[in-house]
Amino acid sequence: MTGTPPTMKVVVDETACLGTGQCAMIAPAVFEQRDDGVTVARDTEPPQSRRAAVREAAQACPVAAIRLSEGSEPSTPAAFGYDDLPALIARMTGDERHAFSSSSTKDVLWVLYDRVLNVSPDRTDDDDRDRFFNSKGAGPMAQYAVLTAKGFIRPEQLDDWGTWDSPLGYVPDRVTVPGVDLSSGSLGHGVPIAVGVALAWRIQRRLGPRVFVLIGDGEFDEGSNHEAMVLAGRMGLDRIVVVVVDNGTASHGWPGGIEQRFAREGWATDVCDGENHDEIFTALTRDHPGKPLVVVATVTR
Amino acid sequence: MTYPDMWSAFGGTMASALDTDPRAAVVLADIGTHFFKAAKQKHPDRVINVGIREQLMMGVASGLAMCGLRPVVHTVASFLVERPFEQIKLNFAQQNVGAVLASWGASYDITEFSWSHFTPEDVALLDSLPNWTVRVPGHPQEAAELLLRALPGDDRVYVRLSGQANREPRGVSESFEVVREGDRGVILAVGPTLDRVLAAASALDVTILYASTVRPFDSAGLRTSVLAGRRPDVVLVEPYLAGTSAHEVSSTLVNVPHRLLSLGVRRNVEARRYGTPEDHDRLHGLDARSLGEQIRSFLV
């Protein structure tokens, strides 16, 4: 990978803002005060020339309501591979072996970002990029590690994840983390939103991108998934790929397999070993013309 | 264009907006589809009926908005606001996208179903989330104008369509409109309550303000009217849960010793009754005569 341009995202926590207006004075091109005094960011991704002022404004805010996340610097090209993920996860957990091996989603995430998704850190706002929704949300260390390996997050950002000043929370947030397309945490929201994305692309005649949604077999309990599954199948939304990481956590199980539910509603289906990279890749990239695709990736608990 | 009621104003306005605004998309759950039969032929992909799936309506709207479209989500108020409330919270604010939610069947409009379809809580629920604009039109023409005003943006807008309406439309505004000026108190009438408030207060020396937008709340307008009179007494008349805007009045007048009477749909009333909306007005003290009695005994 050649040097990717550095990125900066600006987020103002409107609920914390006291309306002192410091930021708007220091960086008027980026911050402005609404009539009620609360500051809003008029430019959430300011160019290089304005970033020094933005950093100063963030420092000056008395209640730290301005959060900045700065993406990959050209000096830190992504030079990480799959074997580096345990060390990256250890920066967050301090527990290399266990945290890595206990992640049920690490292999699916790696194959997606390494071989499937048409995304890169220098075009996180490209309308034609693929989208990835981590609907499962919880346990995001594997996703942060993969995003770091692929240059969306700087390695040192992992060290203080989950702290007050970090953009990296215990669930991923699309507003604060470059490369994250869905803010999650509560289960059962990713597939319905993906249906909306696929319908938008149909309106826009945008035939290139796909939206991949990662859910768990326990998450599939949520009825909202079933509302979305039915409509996506009936409408033939073939830009959607749902990956169910099935580690047998659903309290009441799915007799006959989760893929049977999707098949009945008109989806193309595949099943693979959720730790075998070639199997995952083959399943995720199979043809499914006119139908959405579900891949059930089985992982032993 | 004149419409007999707010629901048909919604249908007619949105059907023609689809012709002129390429970002607009209507998301339905089997209710209101009859307005869009012709529009569906012309714009098959921008009239989206998801079936009876209200959680999915919000997810679909969120995904549309993420890709730059302007979703307008419509069904009966109880199914629009209450059933998928977590979706409203997480699919819009948490994702940092917006949508227009337009409800039909306000408070106790749909008396033939009674309890299951009564939704006087809707504005209070949305008021518990940050950054929702809440429009409460008092006339079909206002409803049409407020819908059109919501389309160009990317913000979060709730438009509350009711079967109850005032006889004449008023201009729609972000500010409270001064309908009448007086000295002995201020009455803020929201949306379709205005005609009843005017009748109730015809003999009183009070200022009457009219609001078709309640969030953001026009604090400057209320404060100005209160300070201009001789008595800092405020009467709030809202067509939904009583006291929904009481906290706004309280913070508006935080440094002004004042009295407040909050009228609206009474809390803790389980109305297992059918009848007409006017019957329910009387139950909640929102008919002109009950309003007059309550307002007079508060001000005098």
Contact B48 A199 (CB under 8 A): yes
What ipTM does the predicted assembly reach? Answer: 0.96
If you average pLDDT over residues A106-114, what whole number do you get? 97
Q: Which CATH class is domain B6-161?
A: alpha beta
pLDDT in tens, B39-71: 999 999 999 999 999 999 999 999 999 999 999
pLDDT score at A68: 86
Does the structural domain A8-70 have CATH classification 3.30.70.20? yes
Judging by DSSP bridges, how do beta strands A8-12 and A66-70 pair with one another?
antiparallel
Topology adopted by domain A78-301: Rossmann fold (3.40.50)
Q: Using an 8 Å Cβ cutoff, are A262 and A295 in contact? A: no
For A203, which of B25, B53, B96 is closest by C-beta distance?
B25
Residue-wise pLDDT for B90-119, tens only, equals 999 999 999 999 999 999 999 999 989 999
Q: What would the mean pLDDT of B241-251 be, rounded to a whole number?
A: 98
CATH 3.40.50.970: which residues of chain A? 78-301
Using left for φ > 0, alpha for ψ between -120 and 50, and beta otherwise, residue A25 falls in: alpha
Whether the predicted pLDDT of A74 surpasses 50: no
3-state helix, strand, coil in chain A (%, to 5): 35, 15, 50
What value, to the nearest 5°, has the Cα angle with vertex B160 and ends B191 and B180? 10
Name the residue in chain B with its Cα closest to that of A174. B95
- Chain B residues whose CB is inside 8 A of the A196 CB are 59-67, 71
CB contact under 8 A, B68 and A200: yes
A45–chain B Cβ distance below 8 A for any pair? no
Give the one of A127, A224, A231 whose C-beta lies nearest to B51's C-beta: A231
Residues 206-235 of B with CB under 8 A from A: 216
Phi and psi at B18, nearest 5°, equal -60, -30
Fold of B177-299: Rossmann fold (3.40.50)
**What is d(CA A225, CA A212) in angstroms, rounded to the nearest whole number?**
14
**Does B61 lie at the interface with A, CB-CB under 8 angstroms?**
yes
Q: What is the mean pLDDT of chain B?
A: 97
Q: Where in chain A is the domain with CATH 3.30.70.20?
A: 8-70
* A203 with B63: Cβ contact below 8 A: no
Question: DSSP string of B124-143?
Answer: HHHHTSTTEEEE--SSHHHH
Mean pLDDT of all residues belonging to chain A: 91
Q: What is the pTM of this model?
A: 0.87
Among B54, B60, B154, B213, pick the best mutation site for testing chain A contact (most A Cβ within 10 A): B60
Pick the range with the lowest mean pLDDT from A49-58, A182-191, B222-231: A49-58
The domain spans of chain B are 6-161, 177-299
Nearest by CB: A192 against B60, B66, B131? B60
Helix (H) or strand (E) segment spanning residue A284: helix A277-284
Q: Give strand ranges (E) for B242-282.
A: 259-265
Strand-strand pairing, B207-211 and B186-190: parallel
Chain B residue with Cα closest to A192: B59
Listed in sequence order, the residues at least 6 apart from A266 whose beta carbon sits closer than 8 Å to its beta carbon are A233, A234, A236, A291
B55 CB near a chain A CB, below 8 Å? yes
Q: In angstroms, how far is CA B12 from the centroid of its own chain? A: 19
What is the side-by-side order of every strand in the sheet holding B47-49? B47-49, B24-28, B70-76, B99-104, B156-161, B132-135, B213-215
DSSP state of B145: H
Using the CB atoms, write b or e for B15-44: b if 16+ within 10 Å: bebbeebebbbbbbbebbeebbeebbeebe
The stretch B227-253 carries a mean pLDDT of 97
Nearest-angstrom CA–CA distance, A157 and A177: 11
- Separation CA A221–CA A59 (nearest Å): 44
Give counts: helices (H), strands (E), chain B: 12, 12
- Residues B242/B264, Cβ–Cβ less than 8 Å: yes
Amino acid letter, B94: Q
CB contact under 8 A, B216 and A182: no
| Residue of A14, A192, A197 lying closest to B56 (CB–CB) | A192
**Is any Cβ of chain A less than 8 angstroms from the Cβ of B95?**
yes
Q: Which of A250, A244, A297, A249 is nearest to A273 (CA)?
A: A297
- Equal fold, B6-161 vs B177-299: yes
Structure letter (DSSP) for residue B119: B
Q: What is the pLDDT of residues A157-179, one digit of tens each?
A: 999 999 999 999 999 999 999 99
